[in-house]
């Protein structure tokens, strides 16, 4: 996280240039697509497109590493647990049973293996688009987009203001912790039992929360004195106007979603298993 508290990475890729609201529409369409199907033939192309977009955005891997590994680990663990707990789940979807790996109490079958593969692909298709949306959108621009798709500006602005003050609060928390440590109430090993250390930590949280409340008070004053919340609508400095590119992509997203729904209803209704 950089010091402004946002995860934004500067760049000029397609996704960087897209309007925040369009990204949001795209993200929602993508998510709906993903949840509709259980079909590897849909996920593989989506994954390829997603990865291609991610690569062209030029976000350094270091920045997204945390989110990336979090998703990978979650997906892998999820797969392992499904295989161990319900090794023959795939049979319920396909009606066939092809035993592959004996577990002792049961046997993992090929249908379940393929199901886990499909499910993992399903989760992973969400990864590139999530990362793209988070890392290529400036928080204030995002607030503007939320406002444009109909969310009241006071709520939309709350997003941006929260991001503005999170680093202040972390800093405050850190320095309070330091000063307590110097007075002998730290949270490191030498400061006593786990209980004592937890109590010390709790003692720091209270004043930081109080100061956050106080901060809210003075920020509210500052904002009111500058006329926030008095008009029915407000404009946004850092938003962009919708360009033809934005409209094209938004329409494309909606069309693809429509096509997806059509496919789901008429062709790819269920779990796709090629080997039965």
Residues of this chain that interact with other proteins (CB under 8 A) are 3-4, 6, 138-140, 160-161, 163-164, 167-168, 172, 175-176, 178-186, 188, 190-192, 203-204, 206-207, 211, 214-215, 218-231, 233-239, 241
Q: Environment class of residue 26 by beta-carbon count within 10 Å: exposed (0-12), middle (13-18) or buried (19+)? A: buried
Give me the least distance between CB of 135 and other proteins, in Å please.
Answer: 16
Residue with smaller CB distance to other proteins, 60 or 227: 227
Q: Between the CA of residue 276 and those of 101, 127, 267, what are the distances in Å?
A: 18, 30, 18
Give me the least distance between CB of 196 and other proteins, in Å please.
Answer: 8
Looking only at the bridges linking them, the beta strands covering 107-109 and 99-102 are antiparallel
Give me the least distance between CB of 115 and other proteins, in Å please.
Answer: 45
Give me the least distance between CB of 141 and other proteins, in Å please.
Answer: 10
Residue with smaller CB distance to other proteins, 123 or 236: 236
Distance CA 184, CA 44 (A): 56
User: Kindly report the CA angle at 167 between 166 and 171, in degrees rounded to 5?
Assistant: 120
DSSP 47: H
Residue with smaller CB distance to other proteins, 62 or 266: 62
Residue that the structure tokens 């006071």 belong to: 154
Give me the least distance between CB of 20 and other proteins, in Å please.
Answer: 14
Residue with smaller CB distance to other proteins, 108 or 180: 180
CA 200, 202, 203, 205 torsion: positive or negative? positive
Residues 41 and 270: beta-carbon distance below 8 Å: no
Give me the least distance between CB of 146 and other proteins, in Å please.
Answer: 15
Residue with smaller CB distance to other proteins, 6 or 118: 6
Give me the least distance between CB of 132 and other proteins, in Å please.
Answer: 20
CA-wise closest residue to 170 among 19, 4, 29, 46: 4
Residue with smaller CB distance to other proteins, 85 or 182: 182
Residue partners of 21: CB distance under 8 A and separation at least 6: 145, 146, 148, 149, 242
Residue with smaller CB distance to other proteins, 233 or 244: 233
H runs (alpha helix) in 95-240: 110-135, 139-148, 153-182, 194-225
């Amino acid at each position: 996280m950089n010091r402004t508290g946002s995860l934004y990475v500067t760049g000029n890729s397609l996704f960087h240039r897209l309007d925040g609201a369009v990204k949001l529409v795209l993200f929602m369409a993508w998510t709906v697509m993903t949840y509709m199907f259980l079909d590897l033939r849909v996920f593989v192309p989506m994954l390829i497109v997603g990865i291609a977009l991610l690569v062209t955005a030029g976000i350094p891997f270091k920045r997204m590493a945390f989110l990336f590994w979090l998703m990978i680990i979650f997906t892998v663990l999820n797969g392992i647990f499904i295989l161990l707990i319900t090794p023959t789940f795939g049979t319920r979807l396909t009606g066939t049973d092809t035993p592959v790996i004996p577990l002792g109490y049961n046997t993992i079958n090929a249908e379940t293996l393929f199901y886990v593969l499909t499910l993992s692909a399903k989760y992973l298709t969400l990864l590139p688009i999530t990362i793209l949306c988070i890392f290529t959108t400036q928080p204030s621009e995002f607030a503007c987009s939320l406002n444009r798709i109909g969310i009241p500006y006071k709520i939309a602005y709350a997003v941006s203001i929260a991001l503005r003050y999170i680093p202040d609060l972390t800093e405050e928390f850190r320095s309070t912790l330091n000063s307590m440590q110097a007075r002998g109430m730290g949270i490191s090993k030498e400061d006593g039992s786990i209980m004592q250390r937890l109590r010390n930590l709790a003692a720091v949280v209270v004043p930081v929360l109080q100061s956050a409340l106080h901060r809210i008070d003075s920020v509210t004053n500052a904002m009111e004195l500058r006329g926030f919340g008095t008009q029915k609508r407000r404009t946004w400095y850092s938003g962009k106007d919708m360009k033809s590119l934005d409209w094209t992509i938004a329409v494309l997203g909606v069309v693809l979603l429509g096509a997806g729904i059509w496919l789901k209803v008429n062709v790819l209704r269920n779990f796709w298993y090629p080997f039965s």
